[in-house]
Amino acid sequence: MKRLWNYFLERIWARRQIERFYLVFGGHIFFETLRTAVRLGLFDCLESEPKITRQQLAQRLGLAEQPVRILLLGLTASGLIRKRGTGYRNTRVARMLLTAQSPLSVRSYIELQHRLIYRGVYWLLDSVRNSSNCGLKELSGNEPTLYQRLAHHPDLEGVFQQAMQELSNHANRELAEHLDLKSVHHLVDVGGGDATNAIALAKRWPHLQVSVFDSPSVSLIAEQNVRQQGFEAQVKITPGDCFGDPFPSSADALLFCHFFTIWGEQRDRQLLAKCYASLPKGGRVIIFNMMQRNDERGPLSAAIGSPYFLSIATGAGMLYTWKEYQQWMREAGFARTETLRLPRDHGVIIGIK
């Protein structure tokens, strides 16, 4: 009896392991199935007509039934949608992340994965062997980082900034809500992108002056965004390179959102030393991004994010652990560090001079 029980347990366990393996093995196929369904508006269709049949769905989308059947099989087997009888419906995750109306939609990020990250990660083997971003050859240009090359590809830069805006829109709610900036007068958002974060912080803290410090081409997008939202008095745009140029003057806080993950340890440490030298006593450096667990076992989001930095972005960065940032801050001279855990594997580490 015990042997029989063990046999069944083992079979269930092996089946689970193999199913998980298939998700990894076919990751590119499941991803393209997902992206195709998003682009076709399939999840929106399921949302407006729950229990819709395959034939009806094909009709609504104006597509032949066989390709729709293939998509539905992929989405059902991977657990994004459910099939009961002949009817299909979204899971909660699909509703939250994949429908156009959801404020938590990641549709722009999916497009960025398809248009850019996917192409870069194709070169991961070469990137690992050479410890450099071999996937950057996918974009014409001579510059060493993705961010510099994007300036010659306005279409892709738009896709990139839209995905960043989506990510910021989700994450900055938490940031604006939990980050206490009562005593800060002038905050510089270094690598602040299209100013989405800066505007959110300016709204939350009306006394605060915010400067967005990013490359000239991105600064043009930021300027337009700030103008459109009527924040010109509170949010200033200063184009520049944070490694080569001084930070905008008189800042008492330097914020880095999704920025320290881009670079290797040496550059990050140099940047922290520069922050320490530029800030007044009591000033803060604030790092906000997804974090790797200190035990280096996850989360999945950190594991997914890291190969992008190696294979295409810079050839150097990754999602570091909490304790690495804290140690670098202390070594740069910051007297004290504080941490804040936020949803979706995000976190904030503050170094106080």
Ligand X SMILES: C[S@@+](CC[C@H](N)C(=O)[O-])C[C@H]1O[C@@H](n2cnc3c(N)ncnc32)[C@H](O)[C@@H]1O
Q: Contact with ligand X (CB under 6 A): which of 118, 259, 260, 308?
A: 259
Q: Is 214 in the site for ligand X (CB under 6 A)?
A: yes
Distance CA 12, CA 102 (A): 36
User: Could you say whether residue 68 binds ligand X (CB under 6 A)?
Assistant: no
Pick the stretch among 252-260, 270-278, 295-303, 341-349 that binds ligand X (CB under 6 A).
252-260
Closer to ligand X by Cβ: residue 90 or 145: 145
Q: Specify the residue, 90 or 108, whose C-beta has the smaller distance to ligand X.
A: 108
Is residue 164 close enough to count as binding ligand X by CB under 6 A?
yes
DSSP H or E run through 18: helix 2-25
C-alpha–C-alpha distance, residues 215 and 102, integer Å:
31
Residue 347 lies near ligand X (rule: CB under 6 A): no
Among the listed residues 74, 120, 135, 191, the single contact to ligand X using CB under 6 A: 191
Taking a C-beta distance cutoff of 8 angstroms, is the pair 254, 141 a contact? no
| Complex with ligand X: residue 74 or 191, whichever CB lies closer | 191
CA gap 79, 98 in Å, rounded:
13
Tell me the C-alpha to C-alpha distance, in Å, between residue 68 and each of 85, 125, 183, 264: 17, 34, 56, 44
- Residues 6+ positions from 93 with CB-CB distance below 8 Å: 80
258 scored as a contact of ligand X (CB under 6 A): yes
Q: Please identify, using beta-carbon distances, which residue of 13 and 243 lies nearer to ligand X.
A: 243
Q: Identify the bridge partners of residue 81 per DSSP, sorted by sequence position.
A: 90
The binder of ligand X chosen from 243, 277, 282, 341 (CB under 6 A)? 243
Q: Does 113 help bind ligand X (rule: CB under 6 A)?
A: no
Q: How far is the CB of 316 from ligand X (least distance, A)?
A: 12
Cα dihedral 305, 307, 309, 311 in deg (nearest 10): -150
Residue 197 interacting with ligand X (CB under 6 A): yes
Contact segment (CB under 6 A) with ligand X among 10-18, 22-30, 191-199, 278-286 equals 191-199
Binding segment toward ligand X, per CB under 6 A, in 84-92, 98-106, 251-259, 315-323: 251-259
**Could you say whether residue 331 binds ligand X (CB under 6 A)?**
no
Q: How far is the CB of 260 from ligand X (least distance, A)?
A: 10
Q: Which of 257, 285, 286, 318 binds ligand X (CB under 6 A)?
A: 257
Q: Cα(228)–Cα(232) distance, rounded to whole angstroms?
A: 9
Q: Strand order in 284-290's β-sheet?
A: 235-239, 209-214, 186-190, 253-257, 284-290, 346-352, 336-341
Least distance between ligand X and beta carbon 241 (Å): 4
Binds ligand X by CB under 6 A, chosen from 120, 135, 193, 283: 193
Binding segment (CB under 6 A) for ligand X, from list 83-91, 102-110, 161-169, 202-210: 161-169
**147 contacts ligand X (rule: CB under 6 A):** yes
CB atoms within 10 A of CB 7: 9
In the complex, the smallest distance separating the C-beta of residue 321 from ligand X, rounded to whole angstroms, is 19
Distant-in-sequence contacts of 345-348, Cβ < 8 A, 24+ apart? 345/290, 345/291, 345/299, 345/301, 345/302, 346/171, 346/174, 346/175, 346/288, 346/289, 346/290, 346/291, 347/288, 347/289, 347/290, 347/291, 347/322, 348/175, 348/178, 348/179, 348/286, 348/287, 348/288
The residues binding ligand X (CB under 6 A) are 147, 164, 167-168, 191-193, 197, 213-215, 218, 241-243, 257-259
